[in-house]
Structure 1
Amino acid sequence: MKWGKKSLMTLAAAALFVTAACSNNGGGAEPANNDGGAVKSNAILATLGEGNDNLKGKKIALIMQFNEGAFSAQYVAGVKEQVESLGGTLQVQAAGNNLADMASKLDAAVNGGFDGILTDHGTAEALEAGVKKAVEKGIPVVAFDANLQVPGVTVLQQSDEAMSKTLLEQMKADIGGKGNIVKVWVAGFAPMERRQISYKAFMDANPDIKEIAHFGTAEKPALDTQNQMEAILKQYPNKGDISAVWASWDEFAKGATRAIEQAGRTEIKVYGIDMSDEDLQMIQKENSPWVASIAVDPKDIGRVQARYLYQKLHGDETEAKVVLDAVLVKREALPKDKQINTTELGQYVEGWGKSEQGIADWMGRTDK
């Protein structure tokens, strides 16, 4: 959800690629199952091991570039449940896609008596000064999806190049290695730039797959994609004119899917990156053109990030970069007789929602 040398507004909005919205307090309703009851999460949570009572009651700040959409809501929920499982409290501050405001909120957190700081998106230019100030004051920092290179800071990122490559290879297999495709992508965000590397290499290696159109914007991405895709479908009105859409962010996949459905062109396959409950509902819809998405469980992203922060609070040495493991979710793997959400997805897709990354030897653990 979520740019480089464009206007500040575009930079900020583009960072939305990771999508998603959460409440300001980082809370969120537990999803319900098909019988109306609460779904029991299959999450693995770290807890404090014996002899670590000094880590109880830590105040953690999460400084976000944006907090809009389902992905971010689930991400924040993951941070919150992991921090609380480790005995801490979380305060969420979101900057509404304003990088200057994000830098200001980070500076306030550094001076606000917090024991640890997490950041979500943003740019190195916006965050570096505040992060360096935090490190100088002995406040540990763990960032997600920002190209920070500050000694002592751990940066989490999704395996964007590998994710993109895996998704493209799935698309290739599904369309028989040839056909016309539409690319939806926007420049400027670190994750997007990494995904583009794999896309270019794939297209260079597969000359029978032709890109006939490309577009993308971070301003109202799902709606804009829908509008632009509708126009492209009119340019290419015949079945077989377009084989697939490669959407480098799930907000793009939503818009492309809606346009294709409304035009009755569901022979066109859609492939997306990232996953939320809303995405999963669209993928499960009968005859949906959205057939596959690759993602890290957004709750697991939050959990893993919080674990690395607590490693730092414990005095552990942590890596400068942590790459999160992604999972390919295909429509064919999902149940046909009921609709599920991402909390239940791990029952059908191996590896989803059960990440143990970041759990140190001194931590306990629990399966919720």
Structure 2
Amino acid sequence: MSKKLTSVWLALTVVLVLVLAACGNKENNNASGSPAALESPTASAAASAEPEANAAIESLKGKKIALVMRFNTGTFSAQYVDGVKKQVAKYGGTVTVLASDNDLGKLAANLDSAVTQKFDGILIDHGDAAALTNGVNNAIAAGIPIVAFDSGLNAFEGVTNLAQNDQQLAEFTLEKLAEEAGGKGNIVKIWVAGFPPMESRQVSYKAFLEKYPDIKEIAAFGDASNPQLDTQNKLEAILKQNPNKGDITAVWASWDEFAKGAANAIKQAGRDEIKLYGIDLSDEDLKMIQDPTSPWVASAAVDPTSIGTVQVRYLYQKLNGDTTDPVVQLEPVFVHRDALPKDKVITTAELSQYVEGWGNSELGNTEYLKELEVSVGAK
């Protein structure tokens, strides 16, 4: 054999030995059974992410939330506040309600107080942009998240604004009024300026009058300070000025507190030919609509308890560091007496059995918020 051939065989032998040695090492490593050696990158990432997720959920517990309200009047507001409190409690937090008695100065002071007291998060109900500008800016500068309901704070970056589809609320009730009145007649409007949802409802009302030229507005009024009693007194006077059947076909009330006062006035005057259409719905309102002797026949609304629940969810998303939509719109439903049972009185908790789309919204809910509820409930 030549020297050249011998060299080639020696080289091949060396390569074979090295390959066999490498295989042996690989088998030994695999046989060691070390968890670190067996664990895949995906499994490792999942294992490290779990403690982080648990820590994030724990960090959301024990939050102090301020609810700054322009007014806290009537059963709609009561059910809304109940929705807020129950949802915050499910997340292991507490709520302090700061009501302002429809006083814009007090409203601004309450927001300032919430910032000064360093609440973890702030909810605003029926705020006013002009009155709250400084307070909102101070909250943003302090890193306190804000979610507002029906407050018109859209110009503030970082604030999430919940709003009912107020134009649709008005359209639902006004279209039913026109249908049941046969497209003609005299109506009374109860409405008040200065509130973002009211201004939106007025847009639909103007369009309604243009659409139905044979429907005439013969009177309009409204005062938010003492809405139920004030409405009753003023409508009683209007009824006396229009004493004959046919003088007034219907009354449109842009808020359920107005509707309750109007219903009392019409019923006490014995004017059962006049129908009443309202906006918003609470247990008290629903009971009145179900009463066959009541003039109040229909209303359009979003479940007030659900509003509070959804608002809290978005605040906790912010507390978790999520980026939330600047505007979240809540879609209303229309409730007419004809859709309700005749043999029993129901509450808004049972209304979903008769009116599709009512209550139990999943809007704003996330998997980690569901886990937070479970975690808090387990203790």
Give the TM interval when normalised to the shorter protein.
0.7 to 0.9
2:127 touches 2:148 (CA, 8 Å); kept in 1?
no
Residue aligning to 1:231: 237
Quote the offset at 1:108 in angstroms: 1.8
- Look up the match of 1:116: 121
Q: CA deviation at 1:102?
A: 1.9
The runs of at least 4 aligned residues of structure 1 exceeding 6 Å deviation read 365-368
1:182 CA drift (Å): 1.1
Higher relative contact order (CA 8 A, sep 6+): 1
Give yes or no for the alignment of 1:60 onto 2:83.
Answer: no
The SS at the match of 1:101 is: helix
1:156 to 162, 176, 186: 162
Q: Which residue of 2 aligns with 1:29?
A: none
Q: Deviations over 1:36-74 (max 9, x none)?
A: xxxxxxxxxxxxx86522211111111112222211111
Question: What whole-Å deviation, never above 9, does each CA across 1:287-330 have from its counterpart, x for those lacking one?
Answer: 21100001111111111110100110111111111111111111
* Among 103, 110, 117, the residue aligned to 1:105: 110
Which deviates further from its counterpart, 238-247 or 287-296?
A: 238-247
Conserved in 1, the CA contact under 8 Å of 2:75 and 2:284? yes
User: Which of 140, 143, 149 is the aligned partner of 1:144?
Assistant: 149
Aligned residue in 2 for 1:129: 134
Residue 309 of structure 1: aligned partner? 315
Residue aligning to 2:21: none
Q: Which residue of 2 aligns with 1:74?
A: 79
Instruction: Among all aligned residue pairs of Structure 1 and Structure 2, give the percentage whose two residues are the same amino acid.
Output: 62
Partner residue in 2 for 1:251:
257
- In structure 2, how many angstroms separate the alpha carbons of the residues matched to 1:255 and 1:108? 34
Post-superposition offset of 1:281: 1.6
- Give unmatched runs, 5+ long, in structure 1: 1-48
Residue pairs, 1:1-368, within 5 angstroms: 52-148=57-153, 149-364=155-370
Work out which of the two has the higher radius of gyration on C-alpha atoms and give 1 or 2: 2
Aligned to 2:370, what secondary structure does the other structure show? strand
In 2, Cα distance between the equivalents of 1:259 and 1:96?
25
Q: Distance in 2 between matches of 1:63 and 1:218?
A: 18
Q: Under a length normalisation based on structure 2, what TM-score does the superposition of the two structures give?
A: 0.81
Q: Secondary structure at the match of 2:294?
A: coil
Unmatched runs of 5 consecutive residues or more in structure 2: 1-52
What do the CA deviations read for 1:322-354 (whole angstroms, capped 9, x no partner)?
111111111111111111222222222122121
The alignment of Structure 1 onto Structure 2 pairs a total of residues equal to 320
Task: Look up the equivalent residue of 1:109 and give its one-letter code.
Answer: A
CA deviation after TM superposition for structure 1 residue 286, in Å? 2.1
Per the TM alignment, residue 169 of structure 1 is displaced from its structure 2 partner at its CA by 0.7
Q: CA offset at residue 361 of structure 1?
A: 4.2
- Deviation of 1:98 after TM superposition, in Å, equals 2.1
User: Which residue in 1 is equivalent to 2:9?
Assistant: none
After superposition, give the CA deviation of every residue in 1:94-152 in whole Å (9 maximum; x if it has no partner).
12222222222211211213111111122112212111111111111111111212110
Whichever structure has more helix as a proportion of its residues is: 2
